[in-house]
Amino acid sequence: MLKIAIAGVAGRMGQNLLRAAEQHDQVEVIAGSERESSSFIGVDLGELIHTEPKQRVVEKDLNKALDQVDVIIDFTSPQVTLDNLALCKEHNKGMVIGTTGFSDQQLEMIEEFAQYIPVVLAPNYSVGVNLLFKLLEQAAKVIGEESDIEIIEAHHRHKVDAPSGTALGMGHAIANAMGNKLDDVAVYAREGITGERSKDEIGFATLRAGDIVGEHTALFADIGERIEITHKASDRMTFAKGAIRAARWLEHKEAGLYSMQDVLGL
């Protein structure tokens, strides 16, 4: 039985992680945390997802529980995740990170923590999106040079970072496959007299509206034809199940920074 703790347990992803763990007979949620000011502090974890009481309540941090836990799953915000990584290092526990929106400096800090503990970091835990990354590499190698490449993403109105971590992951997969660095070719916004599109650029467009769970398209357009590769998530359970799969995979791993591609053996 894998014993997990969930940081951000009352959030959109936190609740889906609780449900995904509930459906898994090899996984038990030992603890869940929320921000100190949350009205969910002290609420039974079962009540959060309308099931029977678990006799475990939402805590304001994971300090007390960490020694009984195998892996922590964290879908919160960048600074909270970094604070939890420090805790994990102290208690020698692995972490599955779902949070997106890290700065380059914060990503370097995650790499440093991963020298001491095993960490999975993925902008998207859906199996379909990780397969999409592979398809994009292939498309970039075959038609990337002669195509104009654009990435379009859409998410719900509450999302705070843009472009999405998944869109950036798609950009990295395409740029790397073509021997480029995303930072050198990315165009994140266009406004006014922008001039013509340059050949090498990868453009990003972002939509924020309603309750869209997550939609991503990569467009490879030449004169006379274009290919669009699209993934649409319609339920957050797909991310939650993937994160649980990553936690099970991580349990006996050595320290290191792993991706969902590693988890899936892609």
Catalogue the active-site residues.
155, 159
CB of 51 to ligand NAD, least distance (A): 19
- Smallest CA-to-CA distance from 33 within 19, 23, 22, 43 is with 43
Between the alpha carbon of residue 22 and those of residues 42, 94, 120, the distances in Å are 20, 21, 22
Q: Distance between CA atoms of 3 and 167, rounded to whole angstroms? A: 32
**80 part of the interface to ligand NAD, by CB under 6 A:** yes
Contact 68, 53 (CB under 8 A): no
Contact 204, 167 (CB under 8 A): yes
Q: Which two tokens stand for residue 103?
A: 């700065």
**7 part of the interface to ligand NAD, by CB under 6 A:** yes
- Strand pairing of 214-222 and 148-155? antiparallel
Binding mask 180-219 for ligand NAD (x = CB under 6 A): ----------------------------------------
Nearer to ligand NAD, 76 or 180 (CB): 76
Q: Distance between CA atoms of 67 and 18, rounded to whole angstroms? A: 20
Q: Which two tokens stand for residue 159?
A: 């999302």
**150 part of the interface to ligand NAD, by CB under 6 A:** no
Nearer to ligand NAD, 31 or 186 (CB): 31
Stretch that binds ligand NAD, among 118-126, 169-177, 189-197, 199-207 (CB under 6 A): 118-126
* The binder of ligand NAD chosen from 21, 30, 71, 125 (CB under 6 A): 125
For ligand NAD, how many residues bind (rule: CB under 6 A)?
Answer: 24
* The binder of ligand NAD chosen from 72, 82, 114, 124 (CB under 6 A): 124
List the interface residues with ligand NAD, window 14-73 (CB under 6 A). Answer: 14, 33-35, 38
Q: Distance between CA atoms of 100 and 49, rounded to whole angstroms? A: 24
Nearer to ligand NAD, 10 or 140 (CB): 10
* The binder of ligand NAD chosen from 75, 113, 204, 249 (CB under 6 A): 75
Contact 167, 216 (CB under 8 A): yes
**130 part of the interface to ligand NAD, by CB under 6 A:** no
Nearer to ligand NAD, 168 or 175 (CB): 168
> Can you tell me which residue has the tokens 């449900």?
19
- Smallest CA-to-CA distance from 27 within 239, 251, 254, 237 is with 251
* The binder of ligand NAD chosen from 94, 118, 123, 203 (CB under 6 A): 123
> Can you tell me which residue has the tokens 């939509």?
207
Give the footprint of ligand NAD on this chain (CB under 6 A): 7-8, 10-14, 33-35, 38, 75-77, 80, 98-101, 122-125, 239
